[in-house]
Structure formats: C-alpha cells, structure tokens
Structure 1
C-alpha cells in the first residue's frame, strides 16, 4: 500500500534551484512544501561549483568601485548565446542578479567579497568567497548550498525528503498533480517504499543530463562519445522526461557546453568523470600553453577556448600571485589530489616538468629560452608595452621567469547542457499555445537562458533567480483562470 502525502508545492531536485524555490514558496504562503532529492543529501552539481555567481551592481562591486550594469551584463550573455538565448529570460537574469547575490549572502550566510572578470565578460562580476584565514578551502558552491540547506531546515513549512526518486508526474482530476516516488529504505535489505503525493503545483529543479551518455548521443551526436564529464552521476536528465509527459516544449537540447579546463589526473588520465579546473583560475590570471606557447586568450568564452585547443590537452600555469588571489588552500587540495604540481620554482624547473610530462601533457622539445621569451612577451603585453598577439586586453597577473608555479594538465569535458524545458520569464513551463498550468522549472533542467554558450557564473545565478521565481509563483498560483489568461497571451505572439 502506497503512502499518500499532500502538498501545496512540490519541488523536485534539491540543488541551487530547488533550495531557493522551497524557501520562496514558504515565504509566499505555501504551508506544505515538499523538497525531494534522489541523492542521500541535497546539493547537486552546484555543490561542486568553484568559480562563483555573477551579479551586476552588487554590494561588493560598489565597495571595490567596479563599473558594471545589468544592461552590460545582459549584452555579454546575449552575445555569448550567439542569437539562441531568449532576451526576456536574459533580461530577468541580469536585472535580478544583484538581488540574487544579496539573497545568497543573507540566506546562506556566505560573504561574496571577491569579484573577478571571468571569460567572456566585459566587467568583473563573478563573485566568490575570499580565502579563509584558517587556511582551509573556501569552495563557494559547497558553502552556498550547505548554507541554504541549513536555512531550509529551519523553515517549518518545508519538508526535505532525500533518497527519493520521482517515477511519475501526472495530472490529477482537481487540476493539480499526482507525483509518485520511490523512497530508499533506511536499512539494508528493505525494499524501497512507494509514496504518492497530491500537490497543487510542481517545480522541476532536476538539473541537466551531462552524465547521461545515451541522452548526449541522442541529442548531441556531434560530440565525441569518449569525452569525459565534470558532472556527478546524478545528472541524468529525468526532469526532461517528466516534463515531456505533460506536453512541455523542449529546446536547444543539442547545445552542450564543453568546459576547456577539466583536470587530467596523471594517475588516471582516462577517467570519465573529472574534477573541474574552475574558470576563476583563469579569471585570476592563469595562462594556457600548448607546445610551450600560449595559443588563446585565456579570458575568451569557453567555446572559443575549446575550439582553440583543437581536441588536445593543455597546460594550465599559475604563479604565486595567481595562487594567492585564487585560494592557496584550494591549490593545496588540488596538489594533494595529484591534480596540480605546486612549488615549481623558476622557469628551468617548469621546462623540466614539461619535458618529463604531466599525464598526456608532454612537451619534449620545450626550451628554457623559449619559455622565458613566452612569459616575457605576456608580461610586456600586461604592462601595456605592446599589444597581446592573441588579443587579450585584461591581465589579472604578470609572469616572470623567477616565479613559483603551480601547473596542471587540462582537457575539454562535457560540463553543462544549455537546453531543456522551455520556460517563460516567470519560470512557467511552456507548451504549444501556452503553459502547463501549475508546472514550473528552474536551473539546468530549463532552456532558453544561455543559448549556444553559457558564461561562467551564470549557472549559479540562473538557479537562484529562476528558482526564486518558480517557488514564489508556484505558491501564488491561482489555478485554471491564470492559465487561460497566459494561453491567450501566448496565442498573440
């Protein structure tokens, strides 16, 4: 016999889209909110994020006199999307970015005081934590998710159910939804319990499908099958199936982002799942080398850098100045994991490391003179003595032959699925002729924000902005009459 629950709002997915959705739903009058996650604990891919969250006109920007605006931010995002982004969604993303950053700081109790200019951005707007004084790492995604999870646990109206896989999402006779889920047993040897939920509204916050080889082959057959991924095994795309069962429109499923810098572990170079070498490493000044030479503007978009890599790995090189700004504790963590070689003193030692190889990154013919000249040319461009031959105009760090270096071998990896369930600016799930009444989506399960390429820092931001909108609107949903009004509006477009 199935256990039956009831809810005003059911949020499926407990990552950085689902957690704000649950909070906003409770804050806007929902007295029974269920937050469901299939993993043993909430977090999802957002817990792995290390570069930060974007915001224009934020507290931190004002304090550091960093010029930016929502319109400039929106233009950067639209340009990155190459004509495939929905301008209405991008407008919401940019204009609500500062309030999203403030929401994270207040609700998660995370101070986002460091602001960097990441690839594809024309201003410094990617916010992250400062290095901790106790020498421990400050992983921004993990800290945000854990802070929000703690906040959710304090809200009486929200019940969190982990270890629960949603197997069906259907309409019920009252205009709401019927959700079926399998809840993992607390003890070994017991069977999963089937539970059913009668709910007025549903928010899909289930993430993307970057770890689902079958869906990648189906929707993005142009990608090489052997590409690794930075995603956890949970990124399977179940939300797409649930939405499709209710007639939802799916868009841009062929738009899959490759991140240019996933760590290659020399001890396991062929591992399918790889640690991400975050955008912030380049945002703070790291350079990329192939055959001992720079080959791309390190602050270009991810798509531009992947194209320049031409399917080959590269060496990511930081110096002591980059390490100090990024987070020395995180660099030490990478070193302990064998993902970075640290403490490489001087260009002679750097050349020796490159000749001997770091995983597949081997440069047998590199010379000290050649490396010295390459670093010298870069620093001359950074000082404004001559233009950079690769078009770089922002130089967060200078490099010298006497520096102490931290080095990693990096390679492109499947990182993010830009497409998904089509939503409108209020996070309502769209289908032909209108919306699916009472169904909302936010985060990577949705499509339309990023188009053909996602900018660094826009994933966490999208989750917060549209997760909040989805939760609020799900709580305030007025039923069939609202849906008829929306359908009439869509028919005129």
Structure 2
C-alpha cells in the first residue's frame, strides 16, 4: 500500500528509461514513499529493449522448477560464466565486489519471480538455457513473449496504482545531470532534458538511470570500445548510449570492451542485408533446437553464448551482403521442440524467418545428421551426443520411430551484437560510484543505476535470462533507495 503520512512535500523520483529496470524502479518507488515518480523516455513508446526479450527471466529456487529445492548452482553458474574478468581480475578487492553483485542478483532471484507473479505475470514454464546447469529460465505458457508480458503488466500497474503520482514522459532526451555543487562527488540534484518539441526543461530530485546499453551505438560507444565488431548486425535500435552523461558527473566505467555477441539472430530471406535483426530466442535451442552448417552439427547448442558464437564465427563467412559480416548456419527444430516453443515459432513463421518443411524434403546430409542425433537422444545402441549436449529439451523426432513425413522448422541464423556487459560501476545498493571496481567506494549522492547501463555483474558473458532478472533486482533496489532519498530531501 502507498503511504499517506502527512509530511512536507517530497522531491520527485526521476527515472531515466522505461524498460524493465526503469519500470521496476518506478513501481517500487511508488510503493516506498509519497513522492511523485517521473519516467523520462527518449523513445516515443515505452518498454525499451526489455519489451523484445524472448527467452525469459531466471530464478532459483522457485515453485515452477521441477527440483526447486535442489537448484543451488545459479551463483556458481554465473561466476563461471563471468570468465576471465572475474577469475583473473586486477585485485582480490575487485573480485569481491563482483561477487557481491552476483550474490545479490542470484539470491534475490526467487523474490524477483514472486514479485512478477504477484503482479499477475505467468511464469510457469521453465527452460534450461546455455551455460546453465539446471532449468531456471521462466516464461509464460501462452503465446505472449515474456518481455511483452512483464513490461506490459508493470506499466499498467504503475499507471493504475500510481495514479496522479506516476508521470510518463516520452520523446524526451536527458542531456545533463544537475549537480549540487561545483566539486566532484557533491551529488546529483536532478536532470536537464529536451522535449520532443525542442524545449529544454529541468526537474529536481534523486535520479535512477536505466537507459540500457550501447549495442546499437555502432558509430559511437561501440566504435570507441570495440571497433573490431564493425560490420556485425545487431538486435538493438541504432541509438547512442547515454554513458557519457553519467561520466560527466564522475561515474566510473568498467568492462566496456565486454560486448556479448548472441549466436542466433535471424537472417530474413526477404532482406538478408538488414542491419537490425530479430533475435532467434535462446529458448528455441533450450527446447531442443539444433544448429547445422552444411547439414552437420558443429557445436553443443547449450554452451554459453560466447562459446556458441565463437564456434559459428570460426566457420567460413558467407558472401558479403552489403557491408554486413554474416554466416550461413541453419537452426532446426523438430516437431517436439517446435511444439514446446509454438508461441515463438508461429510468430517467426508468420514473419518469414522460419519455414516449415517435411523431413523427406531435407537434403541427405541433414537427414543423416537428424537420424544420428535422434539415436543419441534416445540412447540407442549406446550412442551419445558427440558435442557434449546433455539436455535435449522436447526433441521427439526418431525417439519412438523414424517419420519422413514429420514436419520440422528451419531458418538461417548469424551472430549479432546483442548486449553490453560493461557500464557504470555500482555497488550492491545500486548506487553509482565515482570509484573504480575494487577501490574504496565513493557513491555519487542522489544517483542510482540499474539494468544494462551498469557494469561489473556479468563479466565476459551474460547468461541467458539474467538480463530481465538484473533489471528487476537492481531496479527494485534503486527505486526503494531513491524514494527514501526523495523523502529526506523533502523533509529538509
């Protein structure tokens, strides 16, 4: 319930960005005090990249897992996924700070799932994605993708329960953070932003930055930190990153060179040279999908995104289609996998990204690959999967007998720039720091951050399903902290 205590008018809580991190912060701030809550969004429509999320959100243990009480490996999987940036960090203090952030992420994952299901979001289907030792990525049983379902529910709750205290302003660009004084680290006092009509406005209050990453900033931050990735397509809209606004008030950056290449972006046969591509959700592989090059498997599809991407990019590139660097790899789902992922599959088929064909119409090499794989899945003749895959999702083809008339789904995929693990340094309270990772912490008063704009959590590689989780966990922390700060400012 909202507080109704009579007190001096508090400052507003200002949230920059309307993706899942921003909405989680907004909803929590509305329930943590009496302050009005402003969301400032540069796009015309709210939701950000969170709206596109297609695989789900991690949580462990939860009531939806088959062996919830036995899944204590989420922290360990995340540590392992972080790779060299955690294992070989510059200092034990830096490693300890990373571990604290990972501990918060994983240990609050159960509460994150409870929070969303409490809002009416269906998260009853659980899938094992690449890099995970257990099934812990949650989505709904219907056809609505998890990003759409979660973002829509939170936005509606903010509007309905926030009433006049909740204000969403779209089409505005935050250009500057207002500071409390001339000296570094004296604190953030608000924002300066430009409206869609060109007017410059200011708003005073504590600030939560939730503007996302820079995977679509091809000629800006991406070119600055990873020029070697030029030419790769992306899942992100071509928009500039907002990190320079934060560094202008003393925020430090970490892991900016750590950019995740997602191994499976769809190549649209009608427009193969498009730079912006639809993600082929990782859950397609989690439910049983396999990857083929010239009709043969070449990788364990449930390795981490980093390793699957490396395997694909180790193959010969396809002929250049415009300026893009692309590969010609096929994603194939058998009847069992396609049925388990039907909500996604039907959309991809409608978009022309997946094609339904019969087994008998595949080339002979592909048909033989499927027969060999089916024998490994069913354990026939003592065969094992030669690529090391141990979880086969809902693969069914050939397990109870071969059927040439069975229908499979096939589409072309290629690696794409998807997610940026680097960003501003934060602590476990989501405070933005003016100190480097592992140094004595110097929080910037009045400034918090959550979601992809932050760094230090994922290291070399982000586990699928942890981006939405990060948004909920640190969004809720930042919203609560900012609301408390706003109340103190109002009382002063």
The interval holding the TM-score normalised by the smaller chain is 0.7 to 0.9
Pick the aligned partner of 1:323 from 310, 314, 338: 338
1:112: which partner in 2?
123
Determine the structure 1 residue equivalent to 2:391: 394
TM-superposed CA distance for 1:8, in Å, is 2.9
CA distance in structure 2 between the partners assigned to 1:167 and 1:95 by the alignment = 35
Native 8 Å contact 1:58 1:98 kept in 2:
yes
| Rounded Cα–Cα distance in structure 2 between residues aligned with 1:245 and 1:6 | 27
Matched-pair contact (CA < 8 Å) for 2:25–2:475 = yes
Deviation at 1:177, TM superposition (A): 1.2
SS in 1 for 2:246: helix
- Mapped to 2, the partners of 1:67 and 1:300 lie a distance apart of 24
Q: Which residue of 2 aligns with 1:170?
A: 178
In structure 2, the residue matched to 1:375 is 370
Give how far 1:25 is off. Answer: 1.2
1:256 lines up with 2:259 in the alignment: yes
Alignment of 1:229-308 (within 5 A): 229-234=234-239, 236-238=240-242, 240-308=243-311
CA distance in 2, matches of 1:172, 1:65: 51
The answer as to 2:217 corresponding to 1:212 is yes
For residue 294 of structure 1, give the secondary structure of its aligned residue in structure 2. coil
Decide which of 345, 349, 366 is 2:358's aligned counterpart: 345
Counterpart in the other structure of 2:152: 146
Cα pair distance change 1:66/1:28, threshold 3 Å? closer
**Distance in 2 separating the partners of 1:292 and 1:10:** 53
Q: 1:175 to 1:262 in 2, by over 3 A?
A: closer
Aligned residues: 438
Contact 1:6 / 1:197 at 8 angstroms: preserved in 2? no
Name the residue aligned to 1:37: 41
The equivalent of 2:92 in structure 1 is: none
The one of 54, 60, 66 aligned to 2:58: 54
Q: 1:87 aligns with which of 69, 75, 99?
A: 99
CA distance in 2, matches of 1:375, 1:205: 44
Distance apart, 1:255 and its partner CA = 0.4
Q: Distance in 1 between matches of 2:154 and 2:131?
A: 29
Structure 1 residues 478 and 272: alpha-carbon distance in aligned structure 2, compared to 1, 3 A threshold:
closer
Q: 1:80-101 CA distances to partner (integer Å, 9 max, x unpaired)? A: 1104251111101110001101
TM-score by length of 1: 0.85
- Whether the 8 Å contact between 1:418 and 1:448 is mirrored in structure 2 is yes
For 2:333 and 2:43, the matched residues in 1 are separated by 35
CA pair 276-251 structure 1, distance change in 2 beyond 3 A:
same
Residue 188 of structure 1 corresponds to none
Residue 31 (structure 2) aligns with: 27
Q: Given the superposition, is the C-alpha separation of residues 138 and 243 from structure 1 closer, same or farther in structure 2, using an over 3 Å criterion?
A: same
Gaps of 5+ in 1: 132-136, 185-190, 352-367, 482-493
TM-score (norm 2): 0.85
Deviations along 1:203-224, whole A, 9 cap, x unmatched? 000000011112111101232x
The match for 1:472 among 480, 486, 489 is 480
CA distance in 1, matches of 2:228, 2:70: 37
| Other structure's SS at 1:74 match | helix
Match of 1:418 in 2: 421
Change over 3 Å in CA distance of 1:67–1:376 after alignment to 2: farther
* In structure 1, C-alpha distance between the alignment counterparts of 2:35 and 2:311, rounded to whole Å: 52
Q: Give 1:184-195 correspondences, 5 Å limit.
A: 184=196, 191-195=197-201
Tell me the distance in 2 between the aligned counterparts of 1:122 and 1:330.
24
Which structure 2 residue ranges, 5 or more long, are not aligned?
1-8, 87-97, 318-326
CA 1:412–1:165: 2 relative to 1, 3 Å: same
With over 3 angstroms needed to count, the CA separation of the structure-2 counterparts of 1:68 and 1:446, relative to structure 1, is farther
Which deviations, in whole Å up to 9, do the C-alpha atoms of 1:358-403 show, x marking residues without a partner? xxxxxxxxxx2x3333112212221233221111111111433533
Give yes or no for contact 1:202–1:440 (8 Å, CA) kept in 2. Answer: yes
Distance of 1:332 and 1:325 partners within structure 2: 11
Alpha-carbon contact 1:176-1:198 (below 8 Å) kept: no
Equivalent-residue separation in structure 2 for 1:198 and 1:331 (angstroms): 46
Supply the distance in 2 between the matched residues of 1:68 and 1:301 (Cα, whole angstroms).
Answer: 22
Secondary structure in 2 matching 1:443: coil
Q: Shift of the alpha carbon at 1:29?
A: 1.1
Task: For 1:315 and 1:7, locate their aligned partners in 2 and report how far apart those are by CA, in whole Å.
Answer: 54
- Tell me the distance in 2 between the aligned counterparts of 1:175 and 1:442: 18
Q: 333, 338, 349: which is aligned to 1:335?
A: 349
Within 2, Cα distance between the matches of 1:19 and 1:340? 33
